[in-house]
Amino acid sequence: MKISHVLFLFAALVIASCGKKKVQLKANPEKYALTHPDSVNKKVIESYSGTIPCADCEGIKTTLNFYADNTFLMEDIYLGKNSTPFRSTGHYNIERGYGKDNNASLFVLNDSIPEKKKFYVRYSAKPNRLFMLDRDAKPIQSKMEFVLKRLE
């Protein structure tokens, strides 16, 4: 009889403790879609991703999101080195036409901060690719590809 009382008391304690226990899930946002640090509710209008060449690592896995409010979020992961993502945010604008392609789109990131400007071009003949440009908005002369592909 005493054993049944002890078992009953033990079961009651287990059940009571389960009701009070809080479980906190730790999400790892780097494993999922990029979320803009300012707001989770920002509307992504385009996303691009790819691995670009790196002088002292295996490559730079780059993901770039453009939002409807003319902001962007870029994440760079240096493969074979530090696995900590480098994130940058800012504003962008799009200029129509580039070189001989009047229908190309020139994406200017951080257009108001000269030392942080980055340039990408989307040619009309290759609408699902962004080609990285140098600091002077000129094509990068290399046998390697500096290209991000649009995510569907």
Number of domains in the chain: 1
pTM of the model: 0.71
Does 14 fall in a domain?
no
Does 135 fall in a domain?
yes
C-alpha span between 98 and 138 (Å, rounded): 10
Does 56 fall in a domain?
yes
Does 44 fall in a domain?
yes
**How many Å separate Cα 30 from the centre of its chain?**
8
Top pLDDT among 66 and 152 is at: 66
pLDDT confidence tier of residue 43, bands split at 50, 70 and 90: confident
Return the CATH number at 40: 2.40.128.640
Supply the range of the domain harboring residue 82. Answer: 29-150
